[in-house]
Every structure is written in C-alpha cells, then in structure tokens.
Amino acid sequence: MSLRKRRAEDEKEETLGAWQVPIEALSSSFWEKNRYPSCCRFLYANVDLSDAMKAERDLTSFWFSAVLLSTNRIPTAYMQAYRLYTIGVGVDTGVFERQLCEHIALLDKAK
C-alpha cells in the first residue's frame, strides 16, 4: 500500500492519454522489473494536500483501509496479482463523530 498526491483534473486526462500509447502500457510491468513475487498485491490511496483538513480526511481513510485489510481475511480472488488497485473507505461522518464523542467521554471519565 502506498500514498500519493491527488492529481488535478487536467493531469488525470493527460495520464490516461499516456496509457493509450502502446510503449507506455508496457511500463505497467513494474512488478516484473522489480522481481515482485506473485503473492504481492498493489494498492494506493490518493491524498489531497491542498489543505490540512482534506489531507487528514484522506490519511484517515488510508489508515482505516490498512486496519481493515490487516484484520480481515481477503480471498485472493478479490485482488489479482500484478494489478494496481485504488483503496479507500467511505466514512459516515455523523456516525463517526458520535462514536468519537462517546469514546472521548469514556476517556474523560477514566481520569
């Protein structure tokens, strides 16, 4: 899993266009050049660094994803070898805020 800076819309189109060129498509075999074994799976998360709140939101989503992947058994058929997957978690902010407040209240009582 890795983090990367979120691209602007015009950069997305440019990047997608680059993959249409046959020579560029060959560079997607980075796993082969680096001799990664077939048991590896490749995941990335976009992080918007334009302001602190967005960066924190995206980093929280990344770490939630990391925890979910590390604590649950994922069938190997769900993620194929040698492919690159985007990872992220949708968070219901209302529920998250309520649970966080309840947890903080419990910690406050423990003092």
| 3-state SS assignment for residue 90 | coil
Domain of residue 75, residue span: 2-109
pLDDT category of residue 7 using cuts at 50, 70 and 90: low
Q: In what order do the strands lie in the sheet with 84-86?
A: 2-5, 42-47, 84-86
The tokens describing 105, both together, are: 């209240």
Rounded-to-integer distance, Cα 18 and Cα 21, Å: 6
Give the model confidence (pLDDT) of 48-59 as tens digits.
888 899 889 889
Collapsing DSSP to helix, strand or coil, 1 comes out as: coil
Q: Is the pLDDT of residue 26 over 80?
A: no
Separation of alpha carbons 79 and 74, rounded Å: 8
Helices (H) and strands (E) in the chain, counts: 5, 3
- Domain total of the chain: 1
Say how far apart CA 68 and CA 64 lie, in whole Å. Answer: 6
* pLDDT surpasses 70 at 104: yes
Model pTM above 0.95:
no
Residues 37-95: pLDDT tens digits?
Answer: 878 888 888 888 888 998 898 898 899 999 999 999 988 788 888 778 888 888 888 99
Q: 3-state class of 35 per DSSP?
A: coil
Confidence band of 25 (pLDDT split at 50, 70, 90): very low
